[in-house]
Amino acid sequence: MKLFTAKGSASLLALLLSLLSTFTFCYADLSSGDHDANSTSILQSRKMFPELAEFNRKMANAQRHIFTNEQGYMDFKSAGEKSFATDGFDGCIGLAVASKKGALIGHYTMTDWGLNQLMTNFKSLYETHKEDLQKGKAWVYVNVHARNEEQFVEEQMAPLFIDGLRSITGMEPQIKKYIVAVDWWYDANAEPIYGEPDVDNMRSGGFLIENPGGGSSNSKLIYASIRMIKKSGEPIDL
């Protein structure tokens, strides 16, 4: 994260200690990022707004998760509801292809290495399941600036990933955007901008694909939007 300078080191330390118990960052192992439900933070008494609570429930209950720098495929043709998720976005990029019959998700750091994973491992999985995926839709979930939502944070790398997904699938990807919550709530000196944010409930980027199963129904993409991420950090008194 490139947000903070040395001037706010004291505030930044306190912020990071809180965030480390809340987020699973793109470069971390998501399996070790559980939030401590017994935290004594005074902000934890704030009740989540219904949209956030429902999204968090769906993410927690997803049948399969893709972690950072991984990719995977989930088959939707068998009977029963399916849910396929990836979480903890803090600058990474997410790529997905979904149809009535299955879904493919990749979650990568915005690096040359991550791009190589897309063009090798992700591509290989797509080719393996192309018959089931080729009539689907493609999405890219990408980090934008908190105060300029039209600008990618990684201006050079993001278009390369989008072009890569386009070349692999032959589809025109739909772009879904997210921000890093602390970039909205804190200034460059790690000082709160709009009051003390609710760090305990602050949401990182994430998305999931749902399908009712059976191979004949459309899949649905559900994602943490910019609006949801901003609202998740609202102080109690806002």
Residue range 55-69, pLDDT digits in tens: 999 999 999 999 999
Burial of 18 (0-12, 13-18, 19+ CB in 10 A): middle
Q: Is the pLDDT of residue 238 over 80?
A: no
How much is the pLDDT for 189?
85
| 185-205 average pLDDT score | 88
Taking the C-alpha atoms of residue 152 and residue 147, their distance in angstroms, rounded to an integer, is: 11
The tokens for 161 are 């990933």
The tokens for 236 are 């109690």
The tokens for 185 are 């709530």
Confidence of residue 46 (pLDDT cuts 50, 70, 90): low
Confidence of residue 220 (pLDDT cuts 50, 70, 90): very high
- Percent of the chain whose predicted confidence (pLDDT) is above 70: 79
Q: Is the pLDDT of residue 136 over 90?
A: yes
- Which residue, among 131, 57, 140, has the nearest Cα to 106 in the 3D structure? 140
How much is the pLDDT for 131?
97
How big is the CA angle at 175 (ends 2 and 180), to the nearest 5 degrees? Answer: 25
Residue 118 Cα distances to 105, 160, 166, angstroms: 10, 10, 11
Is 36 or 200 the better-scoring residue by pLDDT? 200
Which amino acid is residue 112, in one-letter code? D
- Name the 3-class secondary structure at 67: coil
| Residues 84, 103 contacting (CB under 8 angstroms) | yes
